[in-house]
Chains A and B, each alone.
Chain A
Amino acid sequence: MNKIVSKEYLSPNVVKFEVEAPLIAKARKAGHFVIVRVGEKGERIPLTIADANTEKGTITLIVQKIGLSTSKLCELNEGDCITDLVGPLGKATHIDNFGTVVCACGGVGTAPMLPIAEAMKKAGNHVITVLAARTKELIILEEQMRKFSDEVIIMTDDGSYGNKGLVTDGVEMVIKRQKVDLCVTIGPAIMMKFVSELTKRYDIPTIASLNTIMVDGTGMCGACRISVGGKTKFVCVDGPEFDAHQVDFDEMLIRLNGYKDIEREQLHKISPNN
């Protein structure tokens, strides 16, 4: 049952797991996610399926430690089991031959981008990936991304690797240089907001994969809701990908912080010094 078959650190706070889940491995498509729960008192959290191996019957999850549940998950080792794992959830990415596609990812957003870049490449697109992080050691999955991209542009806030600057600087550089047919962006909400504002100025269709707070992940609770084009949508069933130019990112940022105080308190459970 959902046994972890391998564990690998991609950066100090990012762990890659390969987990037994044969049915999900078979059913999943790029853009899908799962809900996992660690421990009998665990919380249900969403994670993108970064990759799958149908022969081995495994899926790959890439997790960034940011709070209680992700930390608990990252404490698990090879051979341990994940208490609950359900999926694949959400709508698969709309893959087509658009022409030139820019994949703009920040931090752990690279993980969910990986299967999308792969599918876009296979569909015949010219794929340009912009990989951004605060500093060099937080850049993850560069090698894998190179496999599926025609070009990879690295951006770091501190200039410790690649170009110095934000993800938007990298994207704008490409836009100024050549015609871009589609931009896909995944990362922290604030980053997606700025990418979206940039591509809107240049009138480039843009898709954002949203990482709202979720509970069930099946459309039952509405915890994940956001406004898209003035209408309320449930990210877990209507998304997670939406037309970025229609998304109310400010509202999303507020909603993401809805449980911040309680979560900070809970973190004491694992590390009293936090």
Chain B
Amino acid sequence: MTNFNEERMQPWRVELRNSMKPKDRMEIARVKMPELDPEYRSHTMKEEVNLGLTPEMALMESKRCIDCANPTCVQGCPVAINIPKFIKNIERGEFLEAAKTLKETSVLPAVCGRVCPQEKQCEAQCIHLKTKNEAVAIGHLERFAADYERETGNISIPEIAAPLHKKVAAVGSGPAGLAFAGDMAKMGYEVVLFEALHEIGGVLRYGIPEFRLPNKIVDAEIRNLIAMGVHFVTNCIIGKTITIDDLLAEDYKGIFIGSGAGLPRFMNIKGENLVGIMSSNEYLTRVNLMDAANPESDTPVIKGKKVAVIGGGNTAMDAVRTARRLGAEKAMIVYRRTEQEMPARVEEIKHAKEEGIEFMTLRNPIEYYGDKNGRVTHMLLQVMELGEPDASGRRSPVEVKGKTELVEVDEVIVSVGVSPNPLIPQSVKGLEVTGRGTLVVNEETMQTSIPYIFAGGDIVRGGATVILAMGDGRKAAKGMNEWIRSFT
């Protein structure tokens, strides 16, 4: 925190701070993110819902931040972004400086500004909440600064250290792999990133829809990495096309595993394999990666009229909102607890409701029925109520005996969680794995039980968040660099 304080005492910061009384700052109302009209947007596939702040809006919002001596918001951010510094840079009109501040810590600010669960992280710790005010819109400001840098063509390629002539590999091109690759390239390593699919980006590409995270944002990050010298190899599955041993034989000094949590879970209830029932991974992959909603695309997707999505996370919201956009007259969320317990971002729940999504909470499917062609026609829901809190602190749902409902559906999307991708853990002997199938790492260095293998993101945490995966990738880069330097 010391340099945080030193920076805070720089003359420009002091002057800016004193230019307005905290009380006046706190009286400004929180900015509202301009959004596409809900009726319009529920019929358009790719247009982003949030339109971004104008410079005027961003300036006004930045004034709300009182530049705390002890910025609690920073503690709420999993990677401890210097939040007041970047916000004060916006206030003094130095938008590019603000973006640079973000990039001291995060390699994906334009992504995280859009998809971080801010209200549970940085914004949850903002001092404004203590005085019953609304938190500073840190996420919106983060997105503003990062977009400004990109849209004005000012993305700077970070300085690259002199080449070390040492090769390292990254497996998986999600936020963890991308962050790792960027940091290693900066340090002068030769980085090769291997991706199983035909496109780069992991969940950012195949999972999160364009109306929340446009592809062009991910593309810009990838272009940046290419400019930094990172080499991408798509259509290459480590453990299948080439093995970890092959990589070692080719003189890779270290390998980072960021293979994600790609395995969809099903509920194993009767009728779940009927036609029209699929995982959210399948549904979103068809629509996002394969562009199935586009008539030009060869990949088909079922466009249900009465669509139920089972689950209450971000993935469920993405799936149900996609179904709506593909023409569902009735698009329903079926969740076994109440809205309070839903893991999805508050903004996604709000947006979903505005788009006419029905929320059937305290309901759990127990069986599906189909017609003679094996297509799903109905789901049987068990009515639930909340019981005692479970290990996660959430009140667990219990059945209301004998109370069920039969609901008509023609498509069901199961979004009840994912498990770590087992491909790598299975293919590498001696790699320590937990009972849940995640890789065991040293939390400081992200090193696994095999010294030359590091790991991070969902393969270590189970389903987590973009910012945590990104942070892991950076930590692993630092850890691997120190490890390689310890013997060369």
Name A's B-contacting residues (CB within 8 A): 23-24, 27, 37, 39, 41-44, 68-69, 72, 83-89, 215-216, 218-223, 225-227, 232, 237, 251, 254-255, 257-259, 262-263, 266, 269
Contact = CB atoms under 8 A, between A and B. Distances in A.
Contact of A227 (B273, B373, B423): B273
A215 B273 contact: no
Interface core residue of B197, B262, B274 (most chain A CB under 10 Å): B197
A220 B262 contact: yes
Interface string B277-298: 0110110011000110010111
B285 A86 contact: no
A88 B197 CA distance: 13
Contacts of A89: 237, 240
Contacts of B281: 220-222
B436 interface: no
B311 interface: no
B272 A232 contact: yes
Closest 5 CB pairs of A and B: A254-B374, A221-B282, A262-B300, A43-B298, A86-B235
16 contacts: A23-B236, A24-B241, A39-B298, A41-B298, A43-B300, A68-B298, A86-B235, A86-B236, A89-B237, A215-B299, A218-B262, A218-B421, A219-B421, A220-B285, A222-B278, A232-B272
A251 B374 contact: yes
B273 A255 contact: yes
Contact of A221 (B268, B279, B302): B279
Contact of A220 (B241, B263, B296): B263
Contacts of B268: 232
B374 A220 contact: no
B276 interface: yes
B234 interface: yes
A68 B300 CA distance: 11
B424 to A, nearest CB: 11
A251 B298 CA distance: 25
Contacts of B198: 37, 44, 83-84, 86
B422 interface: yes
Nearest to B303: A262
Contacts of B237: 86-87, 89, 218
Given A215-B290, A254-B373, A88 B241 contact: yes
A232 B279 CA distance: 13
A234 to B, nearest CB: 9
Contacts of A85: 235
A216 B264 contact: no
Given A87-B241, A220-B262, A225 B286 contact: no
B423 to A, nearest CB: 7
Contacts of A266: 298, 300
Interface in B423-464: 423
B196 interface: yes
A42 B297 CA distance: 6
A269 B291 CA distance: 17
Nearest to B418: A220
A222 B279 contact: yes
A274 B128 CA distance: 65
Contacts of B373: 254, 257
B222 interface: no
B290 A44 contact: yes
B241 A255 contact: no
A8 to B, nearest CB: 25
Nearest to B198: A84
Contacts of A219: 262-263, 421-423
